[in-house]
Amino acid sequence: MPEGDTVWLTAHHLHEALAGQVVTRSDLRVPRFATADLTGRTVLDVTPRGKHLLTRFEGGLTLHSHLGMEGSWRVYDVSARWSGGPSHQIRAILGNEARTAVGYRLPVVELLRTVEEEEAVGHLGPDLLGPDWDPERAVANLLVDPLRPLGEALLDQRNLAGIGNVYKSELAFLARVTPWLPVGELQTGIPERLVATAQRLLEANKRRFDRRTMTSGRNPSQKLYVYGREGRPCPRCGTSVRKADQGEAGRERPTYWCPRCQTGPTP
């Protein structure tokens, strides 16, 4: 599932393939920008911002994309066969003489002026993997609404940018509280530790797609503590991990927790 670390690595690969190169193939397969042509422009850089990607071109244009839940960018040698999915799932193509970047299942693809980037990403909180990272501000943002459940506060990109559903469950487990605990009820020091742990985990995983939050344990192949492990034993106490949806109606996310190790309200 794309989260801040996945987006960072995607941006890294795109930057390596495209930056400093002249675009020789351009195809934006979304109605609003279907006639836009970026050929002849040099790619300046590809920058991640939370879960957003900003591909900047000479002439003051930026291609803003978002991976959503299932999106991805794949980079291929110019003569290679594409393998990221069927052609009807392709939303964007950027190519040069050596490499081709193909965006699959992207829920957001928009072309905007570089000076207007803040309209797309200005609402985001401090980026866990960005130069603007500010842990004190992130903690303050999390605690603005004391009654808000921790899981929802962590997923709100206006608080801090980069945490997705996987890290939400894992961070709550590491803090030994349920994702439904109101943030105002977190014990002293826990918000600061949560934010520091989030930044450490994303930093540790940003150069690999094979995400891991567990660094030790009886089973070396187990990578996550609770996410995706409904009915399996908790790595701490052996109790069966549980699963329930969390979030506003229509935007619920599967959430995992250990009913013994984690204190706080549950569904």
Selected catalytic residue, list 49, 51, 91, 211:
51
Distance, in Å, from the CA atom of 257 to the CA atom of 177, rounded to the nearest integer, reads 9
Report H helices in the chain.
4-18, 118-121, 135-142, 150-155, 165-174, 190-205
Sheet containing 52-57: order of strands: 43-49, 52-57, 61-66, 108-113
Cα 216 from chain centroid (whole Å): 24
Bridge-partner residues for 182, per DSSP?
A: 149
Distance, in Å, from the CA atom of 209 to the CA atom of 166, rounded to the nearest integer, reads 13
Distance, in Å, from the CA atom of 68 to the CA atom of 119, rounded to the nearest integer, reads 18
The yes-or-no answer on residue 116 being catalytic is no
Is 94 strand, coil or helix?
A: strand
Is 87 strand, coil or helix?
A: helix
Selected catalytic residue, list 2, 48, 191, 235:
2
Angstrom distances, CA of residue 98 to CA of 66, 90, 227: 24, 20, 39
Selected catalytic residue, list 3, 99, 191, 206:
3
The yes-or-no answer on residue 2 being catalytic is yes
Selected catalytic residue, list 49, 211, 242, 253:
253
- Positions annotated as catalytic residues are 2-3, 51, 253
